Chains A and B, each alone.
Chain A
Amino acid sequence: DAGVIQSPRHEVTEMGQEVTLRCKPISGHDYLFWYRQTMMRGLELLIYFNNNVPIDDSGMPEDRFSAKMPNASFSTLKIQPSEPRDSAVYFCASSLEGSDNSPLHFGNGTRLTVT
């Protein structure tokens, strides 16, 4: 089991550019979560999917953020246009079942720096 795989590990971009973060969940997991972590705000849930369908996107900061899950083995988080305040570590996590019964398995994150 390779675990949750995120790419890239680091991304440095200039303000106004489009950024795409990628995630491959653990095979067989029905839930996928995108979190953002900063020193000031800690770990914040942005959006989660169940069986590839977005269920709750209330944490997505604004329209510049979008997430897709075209199939069970791949998800993307896109920021367009990026701003310096988007600088953070973005984590993807997956779980077998709902969080009542099943812990989250996190990837090692993408550290995004927007200059």
Chain B
Amino acid sequence: SQKIEQNSEALNIQEGKTATLTCNYTNYSPAYLQWYRQDPGRGPVFLLLIRENEKEKRKERLKVTFDTTLKQSLFHITASQPADSATYLCALRTGGGNKLTFGTGTQLKVEL
């Protein structure tokens, strides 16, 4: 079956450390992948888009990698802060058209 999997368990890290979140997918060959952040009671907010021909993309303290051979994207937050605590979702286009399918998300908690 077609799946987009993210770590189901919450990730707890200490402030200042690098957080690494994983997004694995099967049976898709996406041309791009997106990452979103969701805070409680709010809608997801777009963070980064990476295309299949871009192995790595950075934005401030965020870095995303995309390995189409492994069918995996890694999302890194360097020098993490308590304000980074949220749920992070990956998303990719599945099938034709503009249908964007989301992973289940990973909850990140950055502790002092």
Query: Measuring CB to CB, which residues of chain A are less than 8 angstroms from any residue of chain B?
Result: 4, 31, 33, 35, 42-43, 45, 48, 50, 55-56, 91, 93, 95, 98-100, 103-109
Asked whether, in the complex, the Cβ of B43 is within 8 Å of the Cβ of A108, the reply is: yes
Q: A99 touching B46 by the CB < 8 A rule?
A: no
- A109-B102 Cα distance, complex, nearest whole Å: 16
Q: By the criterion CB–CB under 8 Å, are B100 and A99 in contact?
A: yes
User: Top 5 A-B pairs ranked by shortest CB distance?
Assistant: A106-B43, A103-B46, A43-B102, A42-B104, A98-B98
B45 within 8 A of A: yes
Residues of B at the A interface (CB closer than 8 Å) are 31-32, 34, 36, 41-46, 49, 89, 93, 97-105
Looking at the complex, which one of A56, A106, A109 makes contact with B99 (CB distance below 8 Å)?
Answer: A56
Given A42-B103, A42-B104: A99 and B98 interface contact (C-beta under 8 Å): yes
> 5 more A-B contacts (CB under 8 A) besides A33-B100, A42-B105, A43-B105?
A42-B104, A43-B89, A56-B97, A91-B44, A100-B93
Q: Which of A48, A100, A107 counts the most B-chain CB atoms under 10 A from its CB?
A: A100
Q: Which residues of A contact B46 (CB under 8 A)?
A: 103-105
How far apart are the CA atoms of A56 and B42 in the complex, in Å? 25
* CB-CB under 8 A for A100 and B32, given A55-B97, A56-B97: yes
Among A4, A42, A104, point to the contact of B100 (Cβ < 8 A).
A104
Name the contact of A100 in the complex, choosing from B31, B42, B101, B105 (C-beta under 8 A): B31
